[in-house]
Structure 1
Amino acid sequence: MVSGLPPLRSLWNCCERTVPCVLLTAVVLIQFCAAFNLDVDGRVVFSGPIGSYFGYSVEFFSNSSSISILIGAPKGNTTQPNIIEGGAVYLCSWNQTGCSIINFDQHGNRYFYINDINTQVEFKSHQWFGATVRSNGNSTLACAPRYYWRTEHDTPFADLTGTCYLSVDGLKTFVEYAPCRTERHGPAGQGYCQGGFSVDFTKNGRVVLGGPGSFYWQGQLISATTEEIVKAYYPSYFLLAVSGQIQTRQVQGSYDDSYLGYSVAGGEFSGDDEEVDKNERKRKGSLSVGVITGSLALVYDAFQMGSYFVSVIIASLDDLVVGAPMFMLRGSNGRLEELGKVYIYLQKGPLLLELCKSNLLGPQAFSRFGSSLAPLGDLNQDGFNDMAIGCPYGGEDNQGLVYIFNGHVDGLMDTPTQSLSGQWASSTFPASFGFALRGNTDLDQNGYPDLMVGAFGADKAVLYRARPIVSAVTSLTVKPTMFNQEEKTCLLIGHGSLVYINIYTIYILHFPGFVVEVQLDSVKQNQRESIRRTLFVESQQPSMVKSFQLSKGERLCHEENIYLRADEEFRDKLSPIYISLNFSLDPQASLDQYGLSPILDYQTKQHLQQKAQIQLDCGEDNICVPDLKLAVYGDRTEIYLGDENYLSLTFNARNEGEGGAYEAGLYVALPAEADYSGIARSNASLTQLTCSYEAENLTRYLVCDLGNPMKSGTSLWAGLRFTYILECSVHYKVDKMPYSIPPKFKPSGSKKVLTTLMWNKPDSHLWVPVWIIILAVLVGLLLLALLIYLLYKLGFFKRSDPYGTTMEKAELKPQASSEA
């Protein structure tokens, strides 16, 4: 929330105008604060020599003028003589892709004369220098945990003690710090210490170094101030004792194979403003994390053997986050799956850490979720730290993933707010994107911390800069929620007397480039008409999109007018008029001075919707409960052969309920043998309806409009005429008479009326005996014979052919020929 905001009413005052009509007011209150987002498209990729494991470790380095990046390449080559893959650390500028090697050590292997024999006493090839790199202010520590040295000149064995180099003057001069290179040789002492396997600086600049191989792999933790280390350094001395250094001691054999110091981090836990260190210890077959100061240790048992609990730990706002990348969970098929897990311990008091409920489980098997952790700082300024968690083998083709989690009062959110994906998948060697993480540092000084991700399998490191993210608290209020359609007191040229609806929008912006889109009057599904009931006055369109360029902190008061169309232009008077508002940052807005554009917070509601109702003639509650009645009559029940092939259906429709029946209609199902011919007009008292055809599946309907609304108390008579196409029985059925009502109430049931018409011959009511029929036939025959006899006597059958007989015609032919 932005402090110092005036009351909502005072914000309205800047927009109010006197408009002599009904108002519909929408208020959008948007407040912005900072949050986080890592710019994927603008990421910066740093590349190192192929096969150098460039990106195995990453760190931020700051001096008085700028902040740079340190990238470790533990298999890299340097200019040291006779050293193969000794390892290197690169210094990179965040706004350039080129990097240069830092010359921590240029001397190569050292030789001492022992018994007059020039003997090689240290071995720097394959020492993995740069496997760990940490920085604090002007101090930087880089270590080679696989460095080893010859403890005796006449034996081939050497101790894998590890060594580190420290700079306290901004990478100008360097001193060696090898606290495990002592006279306690072999596995029983510090011979396999691997000092520098993990390192960190406390808040006050003290060095913390882990050596997990000391004392038969019990491991140990060693700590000294940078001043003590520099003071003790003397280049000609091979074994150096640092005055003031503290370290854990060897304990009983039951703690063998504990790997204390596998991972370390610093934080304040004791309540006395003195920091303590956290590390790993495996005791009696169970894994645990130790919190120690001097000889004091608080042990928190892990939950699963072999899960590599605390393979990585960090102190975040003095709470504790622990990764267990090999944690296994039994799946639905009964088999164990390696998912990885991250535990969050919240500090409830001095040296009191409580495991919180929101522990995170890896989403993908064998992704090594929790292999790396990095606090990102409080990016959204809510008082809780945000976190990056690496899955170096996650994602498609195991290219690696990094998840970003928001912090809250109970730890971390259950789901990530952003996912970063590696771009270098390989079938032979994984890129291990996300193996190394480092955050909580603002490289470009834009006020938002950035994140470095290492992918040593591809010899890459990637910088993700955090963009300013806009978090909006929004509200949409519609006022009034109901208006009277009949009160047409406003005049709109070309549209007659209509109702105005005003939308007021108020914005409080922290970043320029803001787009607002308002969508009016969404259309109901399956609605016969798609006309919008409301339009913007300015554009005569149902939507409006506007872009604003504002300065930081500027307030904008904006007003748009929309109007309700005339009631004869739309049917739907019952469903609400919806006003939907969408807003977003303008993608065309210019970038800020850092080359970044802000983005809306993922939790921001970008879509708002409210509604208003049209006032109906349904009482104070504005809820109509109509009750439609219907009676149908046919003017013919029988049709005889030869009659006219038409039928008239007369019906009476009544509304006996409260309020009007909106969009009331009469549906008449037509059989295939009949067709509609028109409205019955024989009686002047019949209402002249408007009817049309509609089809539903294979059924044809004649749909007649009964009124919008069909007011309460209405009783109308109307007639429909039909003609017949085929001679068979016809059934007319009025099976529905729908009307729109608010969804709170439903009609009491549909009305069904059946009228049957049949083609029949008339039935005979008199019976004629058979002998009468026979006698009639005989009399008929007798009369026929008598008629023939009379005609014979009169010579009817002796009349001559007008042209003579055939012979006479033949005798005339020669004469006709001669005459011709």
Structure 2
Amino acid sequence: MVWDELNHRVKEKQPTSAQHMLEFLQDLIGAPKANTSQFNITEGGSVYFCPWSLGQSECHNIEFDNQGDRIVTVSGTDYQAEVKSHQWFGATIRLCPLYSWRTKAEKPQSDTTGTCYLSVKNFTKFVEYAPCRLSNTMDCKHMISLMILSLSLLLSLSRFQDGKVVLGGPGSFFWQGQVISAAKEEIIKAYYPGYFMQSVEGQTQTRQAQIKYDDSYHGKTFLSRNSITPVIPLLSKHMGSYFGYTVSTADINNDGMSDLLVGAPMYMTRGSDGRLEEVGRVYLYLQRGPLDLEPTLNLTGTQVFGRFGSTIAPLGDLNLDGYNDLAISCPFGGEDQQGLVLIYNGFAGGLRNTPSQVIAGQWASGTVPASFGFSLRGAKDQDMNGYPDLIVGAFGVDKAILYRSRPIVNTSASLTVYPTMINPEEKVCHVNLSFCLSANGKYLPDNLGFLVEVQLDHLKHMQKGGVKRALFVDSQQAMLQRSVRVRSGERVCHETKIYLRVSEFRDKLSSIYISLNFSLDPQAAFDSHGLRPILNYKTTELIEQKAQILLDCGEDNICVPDLKLAVHGDRKEVYLGDDNLLTLTFNARNEGEGGAYEAELYVLLPPEADYSGIARNNEVRLTCSYEAENQTRYLSCDLGNPMKSGTSLWAGLRFTVPRLKDTRKTVQFELQIRSKNENNSHSEVVPYKLEVVVQADVILQGVSRPDKVFFPPPNWKVSKTPQEEQDIGPVIQHVYELVNKGPSGISHTVLQLSCPLSVQGQGLLYPLEMSTEGPLNCTTNHSINYLQLKVSSQLLACLWMYDKVMTKCVPSLQVVTPLVWNKQDSQYSVPLWIIILAILAGLLLLALLIYVLYKLGFFKRSLPYGTAMEKAQLKPQAASEA
């Protein structure tokens, strides 16, 4: 329900009056902390009459009591018998709940007994009734009102209306509680100004019970017709929930019997963290027979410390559907604790469990909470527009607000689409569309304005790029807006056309949704009461229809594909440390009876792989897109729209797998054909696994510098106390290099070096120094340079590859340094005569050889062409050749 707002602010007319307004009765507003003209009384409280006519917001004070505290003379001594200051007169528009009376002259303090005022003859006469004021035996303290001037409201549970006044005293008899009842006519007849009336004719009251009933706070209960004996004891199982803080009755389900609502504003429930939270609750009891109450519904508040259920007010039939509605306050709810009032609608089953409207206060919580909704009153048509209104009190800001009910419009709408099956093969794909509106209701203006909006593909997820599949013919847009005028009780229709954009979209399978949304024109004219109508909260304001695209799928227009996928790769292994080029060739087939619409090859990539492109030797032209969602990366390739029955496609995709880790033994691609068909839309997932393999080409090589050593060196002498490396012998440097040509790395590799340090017990090599390059750690089982010689060169050097992945055995390597021994001078040298004799013998042997050759003619000159005969034989030949 939507309301129009008027408000009264008593403080503007009476600057010293109401600090808090708690409750009002139709045009009466209580100001329990208002200052009055009573002599020597502070914040005695007052009641104001506030007419709610349009344009009038002036409130007038009603003087129920214009006297100050009364003085009583006892044994010649005057003493103050009453305490009217801070008595909260007007707290309930019924009584002064904190009115105090001194029951004994010798007592310095006063007892809070409460008192009640009744108006007679349209506020021209006022009657006071305070049955506990002079009672010493009843001890009825803290008298509050249950039913003053409204007993028939509660007794309507039994369909009794006898005009009795019933008072509740929860503090009586050590807080056992007490109920006192008397007829209104007897109170008026017995009243005399200045006379302290203790009881009236026919007055009845409950008596003190056993001690076990102490602190039971009796005084809020329901009574039979002829006695005040409790007949319906309603108990709450939730300690401290203030069950019964507020009570109200109304015929919610329109069965002719009043139903009961009980508020428990401090009811607690457990929140999401398991802790108890105070949210409040309202209990509904439907009356199935005389005084037969059936618990039907529990409404639980949602605002922590909001005090849901502090006030309950019957509103009458707000939407004129034949069932009474209800307002429940949550005075400290809302984001800024501005207060909330929730409207619940009745129906045949009782009360609906969700509010049809939530009214929020306009004032955020300050030093004093606004307490919007602390008091409520409804069920009266203040502006006479045919609908009941609601009055809300906000005592923290000294305001009472009138919410006027606006006229309710019952609207029905229809949307028609023809044809509902569109053939995309037709050149002109027009669809007829029409919508109709009708409106009716009570006390409505003659003409109602509506805003109508029709959208195409409104609820569909658009394809990439957001292209609408259908447009209106006249506007070339996907939305149509119209302003429509409807006379109350009539029906208005409009027609238009839409067309299908066949070549510009992919989604041919799903229906085209058409939605109609309508609302009342907010700029429409006011009615005769200055109000704009509103739609019934039950109105369905969104209507949808759909049109299907005709598919090549038989008479039922349902395509059922049968998708098959086969995958082959050009390798089965991938190597750690390599880029690992991979080509996956796939065969996609549709062996079903219908086409696969928006068919795509879906490739889920492992985290180690990257997509690099489409193989060039494809039989078909493939279009693929590479996408990532969170940590998932996938490839989507278009296979046709539709991929017709009998289709068989071969194509290849290229990938790299560079980010391999030694923690995984395999990497896996997953491939699947997916379509948008409703039935059998996917193929089976085909995995393609690759084994993770380590492949390393490790080479160990070494060299000796110098490549040959002559020993002993010239002029070398053995030193008994060597100081430098030359004193030991010639220097030998061995360089070893370990090379990994990959692609995989190696790790945990050990290079063992063995050197022949001695031969037959005699020292051969002296380890002088070890030098390394690279991330390695070298150790030895023999002391290095244990004589601490001065080093000028290196004995051993190692070049090392970095650690990476694996352990691998490398063939052994021998680096050999040949050792050539030089002979020293000996005492056994060859005599000189032997040397001379050897030279002479050699010369003699040479002479003898020359002589022999001479004799044999070796030294004679020979002609180049032989004999003269030979020359003659050669001449003709030479001549002929010439």
Normalised to the residue count of structure 2, the TM-score between the two structures is: 0.62
1:537-564 alpha-carbon deviations (Å, 9 max, x no partner):
3322221111222232222122222233
CA contact (8 A) 1:55 1:454 kept: no
Residue 575 (structure 1) aligns with = 510
The 3 A distance-change label for structure 1 pair 191 and 554 is same
Whether 2:25 is the aligned partner of 1:60: answer yes
The 3 A distance-change label for structure 1 pair 384 and 247 is farther
CA contact (8 A) 2:33 2:46 kept: yes
The 3 A distance-change label for structure 1 pair 225 and 584 is same
Distance 1:632 1:219 in 2: 87
Q: 1:127 is matched by which residue type in structure 2? A: Q
Whether 2:387 is the aligned partner of 1:448: answer yes
Distance 1:544 1:98 in 2: 49
Distance 1:184 1:715 in 2: 104
| 1:596-635 map, 5 Å | 596-626=531-561
Q: Which moved more, 1:304-313 or 1:742-751?
A: 742-751
Residue 128 (structure 2) aligns with = 177
Aligned to 1:231, the other structure's residue is in SS state helix
Q: CA deviation at 1:324?
A: 2.3
Distance 1:742 1:675 in 2: 27
Distance 2:43 2:376 in 1: 23
1:100-146 alpha-carbon deviations (Å, 9 max, x no partner):
2112222333445655666544332222211111xxxxxxxx32122
Which structure 2 residue ranges, 5 or more long, are not aligned?
Answer: 153-160, 252-257, 570-583, 655-668, 690-882
1:74 to 8, 32, 36: 32
Cα RMSD after superposing both structures: 4.5
The 3 A distance-change label for structure 1 pair 703 and 434 is closer
CA contact (8 A) 1:73 1:130 kept: yes
Distance 2:551 2:125 in 1: 86
CA contact (8 A) 1:37 1:469 kept: no
Residue 370 (structure 1) aligns with = 309
Which structure 1 residue ranges, 5 or more long, are not aligned?
Answer: 1-35, 62-68, 134-141, 262-278, 281-288, 489-495, 635-648, 681-685, 723-733, 755-820
Distance 2:87 2:568 in 1: 104
Aligned to 1:513, the other structure's residue is in SS state strand
Distance 1:523 1:132 in 2: 53
The 3 A distance-change label for structure 1 pair 661 and 162 is closer
| 1:708-747 map, 5 Å | 712=645, 742-747=677-682
Q: CA deviation at 1:256?
A: 3.7
Residue 145 (structure 1) aligns with = 97
Aligned to 1:230, the other structure's residue is in SS state helix
| 1:235-250 map, 5 Å | 235-239=193-197, 241-250=199-208
Residue 155 (structure 2) aligns with = none
CA contact (8 A) 1:437 1:451 kept: yes
Q: CA deviation at 1:519?
A: 0.8
Q: CA deviation at 1:535?
A: 2.1
Distance 2:458 2:39 in 1: 77
Residue 119 (structure 2) aligns with = 167
1:201 to 150, 158, 173: 150
Distance 1:738 1:432 in 2: 63
The 3 A distance-change label for structure 1 pair 70 and 750 is same
CA contact (8 A) 1:534 1:564 kept: yes
Aligned to 1:57, the other structure's residue is in SS state coil
Q: 1:162 is matched by which residue type in structure 2? A: G
Residue 89 (structure 1) aligns with = 47
1:302 to 236, 243, 247: 236
Distance 1:224 1:579 in 2: 68
Residue 438 (structure 1) aligns with = 377
Aligned to 1:445, the other structure's residue is in SS state coil
Whether 2:280 is the aligned partner of 1:347: answer no
1:400 to 333, 339, 343: 339
Whether 2:141 is the aligned partner of 1:192: answer yes
Q: 1:56 is matched by which residue type in structure 2? A: M
CA contact (8 A) 1:197 1:212 kept: no
Aligned to 1:313, the other structure's residue is in SS state strand
Q: CA deviation at 1:303?
A: 1.6
Q: CA deviation at 1:508?
A: 3.5
Q: CA deviation at 1:602?
A: 4.5
The 3 A distance-change label for structure 1 pair 319 and 714 is closer
Whether 2:382 is the aligned partner of 1:457: answer no
Residue 13 (structure 1) aligns with = none
The 3 A distance-change label for structure 1 pair 502 and 165 is same
The 3 A distance-change label for structure 1 pair 393 and 693 is closer
The 3 A distance-change label for structure 1 pair 291 and 654 is same
Distance 2:103 2:58 in 1: 40
Residue 433 (structure 2) aligns with = 502
CA contact (8 A) 1:81 1:107 kept: yes
The 3 A distance-change label for structure 1 pair 650 and 523 is farther
Residue 782 (structure 1) aligns with = none
Distance 2:303 2:678 in 1: 46
Q: 2:189 is matched by which residue type in structure 1? A: K
Distance 1:333 1:699 in 2: 38
Q: CA deviation at 1:254?
A: 4.0
The 3 A distance-change label for structure 1 pair 207 and 547 is farther
1:419-477 alpha-carbon deviations (Å, 9 max, x no partner):
33344444543333332222222222223322222232333333333333445566656
- Structure with larger RCO (C-alpha < 8 A, sep 6+): 1
Distance 2:637 2:482 in 1: 43
The 3 A distance-change label for structure 1 pair 584 and 149 is same
Residue 555 (structure 1) aligns with = 491
Distance 1:596 1:224 in 2: 45
Distance 1:252 1:694 in 2: 86
The 3 A distance-change label for structure 1 pair 295 and 105 is closer
Residue 22 (structure 1) aligns with = none
Aligned to 2:50, the other structure's residue is in SS state strand
Residue 250 (structure 2) aligns with = 316
Distance 2:478 2:164 in 1: 66
Distance 2:453 2:416 in 1: 16
| 1:449-528 map, 5 Å | 449-470=388-409, 480-486=419-425, 488=426, 497-510=428-441, 512-522=448-458, 525=461, 527-528=463-464
Between Structure 1 and Structure 2, how many residues are aligned? 631
The 3 A distance-change label for structure 1 pair 206 and 676 is same
Residue 642 (structure 1) aligns with = none
CA contact (8 A) 1:55 1:71 kept: no
Q: CA deviation at 1:87?
A: 0.8
Query: Share of identical aligned residues, percent?
Result: 52
CA contact (8 A) 1:233 1:240 kept: no
Distance 1:563 1:326 in 2: 61
CA contact (8 A) 1:219 1:260 kept: yes
